[in-house]
Each structure stands twice: as C-alpha cells, then as structure tokens.
Amino acid sequence: MIRAPHRELRLILLGGAIGAFWDSFLVAMGWLHYPSGTFMAGMAPHWIIALWMLFACTPSKQNTYPTSMVGLSFS
C-alpha cells in the first residue's frame, strides 16, 4: 500500500517529464530515431515516456521488500 499516493503520482509525472525531455532532446539532436509511436516530429514516442514513468516507480517499490526474504537471500 502506498502511504502517500499524491507524492507517488508526482514522482511518476516528474519521471515522465524528465524522460520525455531527455529522449526528445536526443531525437532533436539526431542521435536517436524512432520510426513510430511519436505524437509530433522531433518528440519521444509515447511508449518510451511510459517506460520512464515505470522507471520512476522503482525507488519507492524497493523499500517494500519483505524483511523476512532478506535472511533467505543470504543463507
């Protein structure tokens, strides 16, 4: 269960915005080319922005690892 869903949503949206900016920058510089899935020319595709948003969820989910499993991983 998420303790502060509004903070989680803000983190996900921020991760998506940073990822969209970064990948769009790489596309605009000509270093990356996506043949499909873009909203506008020169922008990152929607699926890579979704991946950035999923990546933003990772740090908060790492803290919910069950402590009982930690002992099993070192045995």
pLDDT, one tens digit per residue, over 18-31 is 999 999 999 999 99
| Closest C-alpha to 39, from 30, 26, 54, 49 | 49
Q: Is the pTM of this model over 0.75?
A: no
Higher-confidence residue: 2 or 10? 10
pLDDT of residue 34: 87
75 pLDDT above the threshold of 50: no
For the chain, domain boundaries = 12-59
pLDDT, one tens digit per residue, over 19-69 is 999 999 999 999 988 888 877 888 899 999 999 999 988 866 555 555 555
pLDDT of residue 20: 94
CA distance 67 to 52: 28
